Copies of this chain bind each other. A is one copy, B any other.
Amino acid sequence: MYKLTQKDTGVCTANGFFADGISAGLKANNEKDMAFIFSENECEVASVFTTNKMYAAPIKHFRAKGDFKTNFVLINAKNANAMTGKAGVSDIDDILETLPTNLVNPLMSSTGVIGVRLAKEKIIKGSKLFDLSKKESNAAANAIMTTDTFSKEIAFKVELEDGSSFSIGAMAKGAGMINPAMATMLCFITTDAKVTKQEMQDILDEVTITTFNAASVDGDTSTNDTVLLLANASSGTYDKNAFKDALHKIMLFLAREMVRDGEGATKLVTYEVTGAKDDKEAEVVAKALSDSLLVKTALYGEDPNWGRIASTVGASGVDCSEESLSISFNEHCVYNKGELIFDDAMEEKTSKVMKLDTFTIACDLGISNGKFTSFGCDLGHEYVKINADYRT
């Protein structure tokens, strides 16, 4: 047994971690646009990166390092440093070389526009403003925002039965596939748990599937998507189940917050797919639903248009049939294995569900036991406005 206690100190919750955000003049109006995370002790690193083949320079830089420990990450907003070729990587080297020499294998992470070289001088000048003794997790979480409308951080203290404890904290910005204009979702997680590199990588990979990967909205994997998990072992303790549980809670919270803060989104919808041939087919359906323009615009219109749900299931290519499918909006079944039950009374009930900020659409395919849950948002005028005007 173990006990989780939520903390409001984000990436500075774990012992020995420091963070802050400053303004380097990349964003307008003196807004914070650069952040750092620093650890007194060197950290093991686990990571998940985009599967996009045009992956950005910071990811190339990371991958070129091989096996290493680090104690510093520099993050900038406004420029993704993607499609910038070898120059993009050497820009990172140039910037990191100017940092204090006591930093070990410093890393860089970027978000913003694609295909433009970094404002190197501004970033180098900005990095001189970093005070490595600061524990301003919220300032850091704010600095990495782009079209995000609120900052996203969460942390837990984990107390074990033997009286020892460790902490995990995180910050993220939205939102990759949800906010495709920004072409980036970034997430930084810090822990003082004494976990091995391999074990934390395995757990990170596993937890990513049902959290960040379940929040995919349109299949557009960005050039910069990054999750970094830094462990400095300074608590001297660890428990696998407790660590995994806390990490899952943290990543699920951040994934849902990113969807909720999707550009122009007014609703967070959970798609619970059950009864599929296997979990993989359930995942295909759940993601088809959260990605479908038909479904997303129906959500925005608060229209309980179950026909679009059925059509999207059928179009997803998985094993399914009109005779075995059933569909529910929260507790209301709107279609049941070939039976048309959507009358005026049901329309009234489900219209109320559609007006909620958060609700669940459940599809039972009635084939076997495969299941998967995804998260999606609606698509409305604000999305079009933000994305049609973004670059310029």
Contact = CB atoms under 8 A, between A and B. Distances in A.
B54 A313 contact: yes
B315 A219 contact: yes
A212 to B, nearest CB: 15
A91 to B, nearest CB: 12
Interface string A8-51: 00000000000000000000000000000000000000000011
Interface stretch (A63-71, A128-136, A192-200, A376-384): A376-384
Contacts of A85: 322-323, 338-340
B220 A389 contact: no
Nearest to A379: B384
Interface in A176-221: 180-181, 183, 218-221
A101 interface: no
A301 interface: yes
Contacts of A338: 85-86
Interface in A92-151: 113-117
B389 A54 contact: no
A122 to B, nearest CB: 18
Nearest to A181: B294
A56 to B, nearest CB: 10
Interface string A292-325: 1110011011010111101111110110111101
Contacts of A313: 53-54
A4 interface: no
Contact of A298 (B82, B301, B388): B388
A300 B220 contact: no
A293 B223 contact: no
Given A300-B388, A388-B297, A312 B83 contact: no
A117 B391 CA distance: 47
A290 interface: no
Given A303-B391, A340-B85, A388-B297, A222 B311 contact: yes
Contacts of A183: 294, 307-308, 311
Interface string A154-190: 0000000000000000000000000011010000000
A298 B80 CA distance: 18
Contacts of A391: 298, 303, 305, 307
B297 A83 contact: no
A307 B114 contact: yes
A271 interface: no
Nearest to A222: B311
Contacts of A116: 340
Given A293-B220, A315-B222, A322-B54, A380 B387 contact: no
A349 B321 CA distance: 51
A311 B381 contact: no
A52 interface: yes
A314 B322 CA distance: 36
Contacts of A292: 180, 218, 220
A228 B221 CA distance: 38
B335 A115 contact: yes
Nearest to A86: B338
Nearest to A85: B338
B388 A115 contact: no
Given A116-B340, A220-B292, A303-B391, 17 more contacts: A54-B321, A54-B322, A80-B307, A82-B307, A85-B322, A85-B340, A87-B340, A114-B310, A183-B308, A218-B293, A220-B294, A297-B387, A297-B388, A300-B384, A303-B389, A379-B384, A380-B388
7 contacts: A53-B315, A54-B314, A84-B340, A85-B340, A87-B340, A114-B311, A297-B387
